[in-house]
Amino acid sequence: MLDYGAAGPGAAAAFARLFERHERPVHRFLLRSLGGDAARADDLLQEVWLAVIRNATNYEPRAKFTTWLYGIARTRLIDHWRSLRNDVSLDAANDTHADDVGDALVDRLPAARTIEPEVQAMSRAQARAFIVEVEQLPPAQREALLLHLEGELTLDEIAQLTGVGMETAKSRLRYALAKLRAALEDWR
């Protein structure tokens, strides 16, 4: 059980450690799930951490903290999509323009200062291509991939979180990885 409502510096320090450890990966999960909409990702990230604080006393360590945390993030995403359209599902097509989104994300990727400009340009183009390909995955496959990469969740945790069987989660992740490999074959 987490209890950040308790008085004392220990509770604040514990929350600060959790926030520092998980804030960026959760933000990337939200950002990529939203097709690069940074403003919405920021808003949802705030909602996620507010929910963590509000529900800390209800947390039962039946699963890893990250499973619980990404469950909250996923719920906030679903609520967001439902607020846009009542008929939106995780299987709906993504209507965002990947080129616009990819540019914004890639511009924030740091490059080592010791790398030559040609290598930097190639790395940025490769990262842009990767982001575009991730965003073009079917939503269920993209979700499984991002939960695995960003949340470091296992297949069992992904299956549990998304409410599908282990084999379905495994298939979604396998198909996503296969599509990425095929799409990015030219970069090898």
Q: Residue 151: pLDDT above 70?
A: yes
Residues 69 and 47 sit within 8 Å (Cβ to Cβ): no
Q: Token pair of 61, please?
A: 């360590």
Domain count, the chain: 1
**Does 168 fall in a domain?**
yes
For residue 76, count other CB atoms closer than 10 A to its CB: 20
- The number of angstroms, rounded, from the C-alpha of 99 to the middle of its chain's C-alpha atoms is 19
Residues 27 and 83 sit within 8 Å (Cβ to Cβ): no
Q: Residue 1: pLDDT above 60?
A: no
Measured at the CA of 141, the angle between CA 122 and CA 109, to 5 degrees, comes to 30
**Does 3 fall in a domain?**
no
pLDDT at 117: 60
pLDDT-based confidence at residue 56 (cuts at 50, 70, 90): confident
**Does 57 fall in a domain?**
yes
pLDDT at 171: 95
Task: Identify which has the larger pLDDT, 165 or 116.
Answer: 165
Residues 133 and 94 sit within 8 Å (Cβ to Cβ): no
pLDDT at 116: 56
Range from 61-70, 86-95, 168-177 that averages highest in pLDDT: 168-177
**Does 160 fall in a domain?**
yes
**Does 106 fall in a domain?**
yes
**Does 2 fall in a domain?**
no
Domain span at residue 59 reads 9-187
Assign 129 to helix, strand or coil: helix
pLDDT at 63: 72
- If you write DSSP's letter for every residue of 97-132 in order, what string do you get? -HHHHHHHHHTT----TTS-HHHHHHHHHHHHHHHH
pLDDT at 88: 40
**Does 4 fall in a domain?**
no
**Does 135 fall in a domain?**
yes
Q: Give tens-digit pLDDT for 85-136.
A: 754 444 444 444 444 444 444 454 454 444 456 655 666 777 787 888 888 9
Look at the block and give the residue holding tokens 């909602």: 47
**Dihedrals φ, ψ of 90, to 5°?**
-65, -20
pLDDT at 9: 61
Report CA-CA distances (Å) from 134 to 12, 95, 97, 130, 145: 36, 14, 12, 6, 9
Q: Residue 40: pLDDT above 60?
A: yes
Q: Residue 61: pLDDT above 70?
A: yes
